[in-house]
Amino acid sequence: MKTKRTVISIFTLCTALLFTACSGKGTSNTEASRNTQTEAGSEASGSSNTTLDDLYQQENQLFAEHEDAWNKAFGMMNKSTADPSGNYADYLAATVESNKDSFTDDELKTLTDDIETIRKIEEQIAAIEKDNTASDDASQKDNSDDTSPFRNFSGQDYDGNSVDESLFSGNAVTVVNFWFTGCKPCVAELSKLNELNDTIKSMGGEVVGINTETFDGNEDAIKEAAAVLESQGAAYRNLSIDSASDAGKYASNIMAFPTTILVDRNGNIVGDPMLGGIDNQDNYDTLMKQIQSVIDADGANK
């Protein structure tokens, strides 16, 4: 699996960033523990991931130094400008370019300069990831029947009730929304997600939230997230999961928040991720079409 950084609103760099000690979740070894690797291979993998984490931290430092400008840029990210498989610097540049009238001249210069620095960092990241591709591909072939991050799923809701993969098998479609408490676009869509959950229940669907700050049963983060959900009138199920689980690792690879995905009853991700809030009507309409498509396919397979 190719390692990616997590792009988030700068407001929570100290509390929610998945690569920092503030979040209580490290990722330097998430790709290193492969049962099929030799000891030497594991050491090499761990070293390359440590280097990757250091490079990501360099990017995150730029975001922290120019907090206001990047906060504005991250809030403008949406599905129409995002290509999760593409070049990271190009992704950021496209967001800034498509919204350039929203920035001052000074902000544009700051963002442009940062993007060029990030582009150079990305060249180093790409070189490391290229070296890791062969071993990753071999591992994926050996585990071809277990590639979905939602197989063998487990977690707990905010009341402490355990949840497993039957969450997905019981629904024609499960809408999984990844968010964190300090992300303004994430919070802004919570009431709309609750509305969506009410709408699709009769269709065999469900909305489930995964707040990345609540990983590993973080009680303080769970209380804070629950309070935010209540304040927004959002009563749909939210879960805390293990950061070291497949689903936790998947969340750590998310490029921007909020991100919403669709999962079928077999635990497979269907279609492309939706980046940006569904309080944007275009995003909402697009997501509803995708949901209906999954439900129709589920009905046809019965």
Q: What is the pLDDT along the chain (302 residues), one digit of tens a residue?
A: 333 344 433 333 333 333 322 222 333 232 332 233 333 344 455 566 678 778 888 888 888 899 898 888 887 775 444 454 567 788 888 889 989 899 999 999 999 999 999 999 888 888 887 776 655 555 444 443 457 899 889 999 999 999 999 999 999 999 999 999 989 999 999 999 999 999 999 999 999 999 999 999 999 999 999 999 999 999 999 999 999 999 999 998 887 889 999 999 999 999 989 988 999 899 999 999 999 999 999 888 76
* CA angle 110–72–89, rounded 5-degree value: 55
The DSSP bridge partners found for residue 243 are none
Residue 129's nearest CA partner among 170, 88, 184, 172 is 88
d(Cα 124, Cα 122) in Å, to the nearest integer? 5
Write down the pTM of the prediction.
Answer: 0.58
d(Cα 109, Cα 105) in Å, to the nearest integer? 6
Work out the number of other CB atoms within 10 angstroms of the CB of residue 216: 15
Work out the number of other CB atoms within 10 angstroms of the CB of residue 175: 25
Alpha helices in 22-66 (DSSP H): 39-65
Please say whether the beta carbons of 263 and 298 come within 8 A.
Answer: no
